[in-house]
Amino acid sequence: MSLRLIANWKLNGSRDFNHKWALKFFKNFHGKNFSSLGIAPAALYLDHIKELLGNHDIEVGAQNIDTENSGARTGEISASMIKDTGCKFIIIGHSERRIFFHESNQIIRKKLIQANQNALVPVLCIGESEEENQNNATAKVLEEQIIEALEGSIELSSLIIAYEPVWAIGSGKTPNPEDINSVHEMIKDVVQSLFPKTGLESVLYGGSVNINNASSLFEQKNIDGALIGGASLDGKEFALIANVFNDLKV
Ligand code: PEP
């Protein structure tokens, strides 16, 4: 099975944190299938995490890449460097990057091309703001984000989309699972009808997923998995969510 449950650690972690996380995770995860799981730590710790995960085939990925592959771009990390560390996926277009680092759909498109050229699976994050949600503009906003990020010459051999309503991230608020399911169905329809050559693997949900709401989400047909921020920082909670996922989806 391809990647379905991804931990986004954001700007968190240390060698000590990573070590304790791995101990808690392996103590509490009861599944046999690790390949649907992914961890995106800060890029500095990619090697350390890989070392801690040993030969369990949990995928490791990064949270961001540059739009270019090399050159005079002080402080940046390229897709080829991330690939070189043995990573399989890359998160692109997270709302925190769109908001704090002013990433437009055009910048995100360039990053998708970099990921594709370097055989990394892009996890493209899309989502509407609270105001857009209240104005019933969710479908329009998501469609625009998809079209502007994918249009033109790119044919992505593989793609994961994470639907993350901005207002649900880190807030403890989540849309109801049936509504998320319909949004995911719409995302799949848009990608399949407008970009039929794109290898869409799955549509994940992200936004305040935790052990209490995991089963109600994974019961939905079109919610293929989750991108998890806050709750993934606890190795035990991530393992318990992964156990629920295994029971319902694997
Ligand atoms: C995220 O940042 O991708 C995310 C889903 O965060 P949280 O789970 O904390 O809402």
pLDDT at 1: 58
pLDDT at 26: 96
Residue of the CA atom closest to atom 6 of ligand 1: 229
pLDDT at 153: 67
Give yes or no for residue 208 CB within 6 A of ligand 1: yes
Compute how many other C-beta atoms are within 10 angstroms of the C-beta atom of residue 98: 19
Catalytic residue among 96, 164, 201, 237: 164
Among 167, 95, 162, 111, which Cα is nearest to 134's?
Answer: 167
Give yes or no for residue 93 CB within 6 A of ligand 1: no
Query: How confident is the prediction along the chain (250 residues), in pLDDT tens digits per residue?
Result: 589 999 999 999 999 999 999 999 999 999 888 999 999 999 999 999 999 999 899 999 999 999 999 999 999 999 999 999 999 999 999 999 999 999 999 999 999 999 999 999 999 999 999 999 999 999 999 999 999 999 986 789 999 999 999 999 999 999 999 999 999 999 999 999 999 999 999 999 999 999 999 999 999 999 999 999 999 999 999 999 999 999 998 7
pTM above 0.95, yes or no: yes
